Amino acid sequence: MNAVDLLQRQVCETIDAHRAEIVGIGEAIMDAPELGFKERQTADRVKEVFRRTGLSFDDGLALTGVKAVLQGEKPGPTVALMGELDALLVPDHPRACPETGAAHACGHNAQIAGLLGAAIGLTQSGVAKDLAGRVIFLAVPAEEYVEIDYRIGLVKRGETSFLTGKQELIKLGLFDDVDMAIMIHSTSPDVHDGSAGLSPSSNGFVAKNICFLGKASHAGAYPERGINALNAAQLALSAINAQRETFRDEDCVRVHPIITKGGDLVNVVPSEVRMETYVRAKTPEALLDAAMKVDRALRGAAMALGCRVEIETVPGNLPLRNDPRLAELFRNNVRVLFGDQEYRDYPHGGGSTDAGDLSQLMPVLHPMMTGAQGSHHQIDWQIADHNAGYVLPAKSLAMMAIELARDVLSRFVPGMTKDEYLERQLAVFRTETFDGGAVESRRESK
Ligand SMILES: [Zn+2]
């Protein structure tokens, strides 16, 4: 057994000795879910464990984030182990918060249990003296892209610059001293085969709030005096659908608009109709192209009806690129923890995460590990197997922190620099008002 194996064994034994505590953390957070940027109680739990394990920390980062550092006594890279603090809105979930409807229906409670389990293992086993480099334990706020209006309000009031936690932490410089970042997301046998696995990549997106503004009028007596904003929205949906044949299969574009307000009263021509959509794609370029086509479709619909359309675009996440060297490390790890046959390669993912933003800047690992049952974001989701859901992720994170392959950094090619990232994402914030009626009157006056 080599030195790394010995250290890993020592840490895993320590984690096993604290098994009840780690499971207790995961279950306590499951019963106290909080939405993004509001995870104060959850952050308090994190701080309490950091205090007990003797880790000094900074808190209130991007409103609720907490960052602790374990300094190894040998030189080496800095790896951030991450866990996400936030829950989702699933009011019918049996363990939802009765006041807010928040529920841990994505297993982020297990991420925090895993993160704190790794912190307990790495500090209480005494391996720090043999550790090369630094390990940062980072509890990050607001991964789920929800309560968009609330978060746009935070941005407008200057409380944040972005709508998700890792984006905000990048902006605040909290990753400036980090070389690579690792987290483990929960999954379930209902969704993924095998005990653990990894997609090479997943989609990025931008979000759009859309408002068609027409003119109200009596819907029966003189509809000709109105401008029907609902008809414009309907045309917009058709025009967006007409773009789909131009999306290349390899770009994995997904555009999924909804109408959130269809009118006011049935006997009045709808004068205000609201829509929301995400535009997702596999690469930043494909994302820009698809978003441009969606805007064009929206303007075209406004022109057809002679109404106005307001298009508010806000930055979503950039595409995730799982680092292949870190993926290799994880694969080996899964073999040790679960057995030879349990690792799976997943295909490219259609969903999105703000770990994607980080993965454009540094090597990032965002794999899945089983332990849950049910489907993500649904009422049947829960961590059913406490060992696989809470304890094994702690071991995996701690083992990877000990073993970090040195060639990860030398072979990593960033997608962009931090400055380029900020410039690109901040430029996405844009509100356009296009007046389809004015286009027509300009043409007539020529
Ligand atoms: Zn999640």
The pLDDT value recorded for residue 406 is 63
What is the band of 445 on the pLDDT scale with cuts at 50, 70, 90?
low
Rounded CA gap, 14 and 33, in Å? 28
Look up residue 426 and give its amino acid: L
The angle, 0 to 180 degrees and rounded to 10, between the axes of the packed helices 392-403 and 324-338 is 130
Q: In this structure, are residues 203 and 280 in contact, taking their beta carbons and an 8 Å threshold?
A: yes
185 Cα–ligand 1 center, Å? 7
210 Cα–ligand 1 center, Å? 26
Backbone φ, ψ for residue 321 (5° rounding)? -125, 105
Q: What is the pLDDT of residues 165-188, one digit of tens each?
A: 999 999 999 999 999 999 999 999
Coil, strand or helix at 336: helix
276 Cα–ligand 1 center, Å? 21
Q: Tell me which residues have their CB within 5 A of the ion that is ligand 1.
A: 106
The helix or strand, by DSSP H or E, that contains position 232, with its residue range, turns out to be helix 229-243
Q: Does position 255 have pLDDT exceeding 70, yes or no?
A: yes
Pick from 179, 245, 235: nearest CA to 212: 235
Rounded CA gap, 280 and 291, in Å? 9
Rounded CA gap, 217 and 222, in Å? 7
Greater confidence, 404 or 287? 287
151 Cα–ligand 1 center, Å? 18
Rounded CA gap, 176 and 100, in Å? 35
Q: In this structure, are residues 72 and 128 in contact, taking their beta carbons and an 8 Å threshold?
A: yes
Domains contained in the chain, CATH given: 3-203+319-415 (3.40.630.10), 204-317+425-445 (3.30.70.360)
Q: Does position 160 have pLDDT exceeding 70, yes or no?
A: yes
